[in-house]
Amino acid sequence: MFVSAAPALLFLTTFLPAQPAAAKPKPALPPDQVAQTTRYLAALATPMGGYAPQAGGKASLRATLGAVRGLRLLGVQPADLAACRDFVVACLTPEGFADAPDQQPGQAAPALQAVGIMALHDLGAEKLPQVASKLPQQFTRLENLATDFESVRLAAAAFEAAKQLPAKKDAWQALIQKAQAGSPENARLVGGATAARLRLGVQLKPAEREELSARLLAGQGEDGGWSNAAREPGDLDSCYRVMRAIKMLGAKPDAQKLRGFVASCRNADGGYGVAKGKPSSVSATYQALIVLSWLE
């Protein structure tokens, strides 16, 4: 049974070394901005042990994974990792992962299943006795749920986190390539597709790597970011998808312009909005931090 965590004071973030498995290059931010963003993320912790997506919100599985990953990129982590683990484990229902312990998977089931598996891995919960015996079933459920490009893209990330390959990898690769072929000039789509293919073990030939890299780099907008469609302003979600692929391909974007775009998404509270002028959220803040870390 899920037990609520104790006093909210326990959730204040402390400066502790990140777990070795989570070590990544850190985003190059001034110390005052690191401290401010740390406070922003820490303030989203809830007495349930999870993190809310925005100030004043309710804890969610997706926000918890984003907050933990964001904090670790800043070189810190939650004061009570056990509470985070308990929250994530409590999100695992008989029907798969829900976004909160009192919810059901619903229509978001494919995405939540992938996020839940990644959260278990990130928090070291996959070996807990109450979890380990259920994991094979959770991977099977994820394979059955992932039937379109977006769900397959996330599922590939979950399998990669667990250092596994799905039984349906060939079918997934075909689905990914079909989606990419339908809009070959969309850098956001190509980035997500390329990263998913690489996660599923595809070995790209040098010529294809170069062609994909060129296509992704060409999509960088005048504002320094990537967008969901031509002539639209950049957004951090698109930047995240494209930069994930660029990093895996070993390509180099215009780093100065990209840093400028990310900075334009920063808000006075220390968090980041998905685009300039948008309110801060956990997901956008994590995306900003990981994109900056990939530039190091």
pLDDT digits (tens, 9 = 90+) for 99-121: 999 999 998 899 999 999 999 99
pLDDT score, position 66: 97
Average pLDDT estimate for 235-262: 98
Residue spans of the domains in the chain: they are 24-294
**In the chain, % of residues over pLDDT 90:** 83
Average pLDDT estimate for 202-212: 96
pLDDT score, position 14: 40
**In the chain, % of residues over pLDDT 70:** 92
Give me the DSSP letters along the chain: -----S-GGGGS-B--PPPGGG--PPP---HHHHHHHHHHHHTTB-TTSSB-SSTT---BHHHHHHHHHHHHHTT-B-S-HHHHHHHHHHTEETTEE-SSTTS--GGGHHHHHHHHHHHHHHTT-TTSHHHHTTHHHHHHHHHHH--SHHHHHHHHHHHHHTT---TTHHHHHHHHHHHHHT-TT-HHHHHHHHHHHHHTT----HHHHHHHHHHHHHT--TTSS--SSTTSPP-HHHHHHHHHHHHHHT----HHHHHHHHHHTB-TTS-EESSTTPPEEHHHHHHHHHHHHHT-
Is residue 3 scored above 50 in pLDDT? no
pLDDT score, position 74: 96
- Encode pLDDT of 147-205 as tens digits: 999 999 999 999 999 999 999 999 999 999 999 998 888 999 999 999 999 999 999 99
Average pLDDT estimate for 272-285: 97
Residue 44: band (very low, low, confident or very high) from pLDDT cuts 50, 70, 90: very high
Summary mean pLDDT of the chain: 91
pLDDT score, position 24: 65
Is residue 18 scored above 80 in pLDDT? no
Provide the CATH number for the domain formed by 24-294 in this structure: 1.50.10.20
Most confident listed range (6-20, 146-160, 222-236)? 146-160
Is residue 12 scored above 50 in pLDDT? no
pLDDT score, position 203: 95
pLDDT score, position 231: 80
Is residue 6 scored above 80 in pLDDT? no
pLDDT score, position 80: 84
